[in-house]
Amino acid sequence: MCDRDGVLKNFDKTVKNMHPDYEALRSSIAADTTVPILPELTDFVFGLDPDAANEHMRNVKGPFMLLDYGLFRGSNIFATGGSNIDFMFSCIIAMPGNKRKLDPIEDALWRNTLLAYAKRMLKHFEQRDKNTCAVNRMLNGNFTITPVDPMILLNCIGWDVSFTKNGSAFLF
């Protein structure tokens, strides 16, 4: 989705990793020659540890994507085999906060640019081709686009594209 180097920054080369698929995944991403959908994005931030994600975002210099896994909610999961589950997921496209305050014109220009990136991402999700990852194929429910709250996200500006898939078959 974004610049390959931005994704590779998430791999820690200084630690011996125990998961058997770790090196294969890193190598696969490093060798991938497909053109990114949003090459303008310089970083890709994700993870379930908010402190680690915040630390990563403090080092981001340009536009970035932050994946925020929301929640799984369901009923009778065992009886239905997981077919009655709601899934929430956010994809935030933002620009890091900086020490200088943006004037209203630059702020508006950045917001328009970042919104164009979000729209390009949504257009790609609609294509549903074989090169779209499995998570993207799942996200055919509702979505909302809201401005990022700079007070919550380290003074960043941008857009939060939140997806909700309600009650359709979702298998673990």
Per-residue pLDDT, 159: 94
Per-residue pLDDT, 63: 92
Distance CA 54, CA 76 (A): 35
What global pTM score does this model have? Answer: 0.72
Closest Cα partner for 95 from 55, 57, 38, 50?
57
Per-residue pLDDT, 172: 43
Distance CA 43, CA 25 (A): 18
Per-residue pLDDT, 111: 92
* Averaged pLDDT, groups of 10, the chain, 172 residues long: 68 71 80 79 80 80 84 62 68 80 86 94 71 53 83 84 69 44
Per-residue pLDDT, 72: 66
Burial of 65 (0-12, 13-18, 19+ CB in 10 A): buried
Distance CA 66, CA 90 (A): 8
Per-residue pLDDT, 134: 45
H helix intervals, the chain? 4-8, 22-31, 50-58, 77-80, 104-127, 134-138
Each domain of the chain, given as residue ranges in start order, spans 39-165
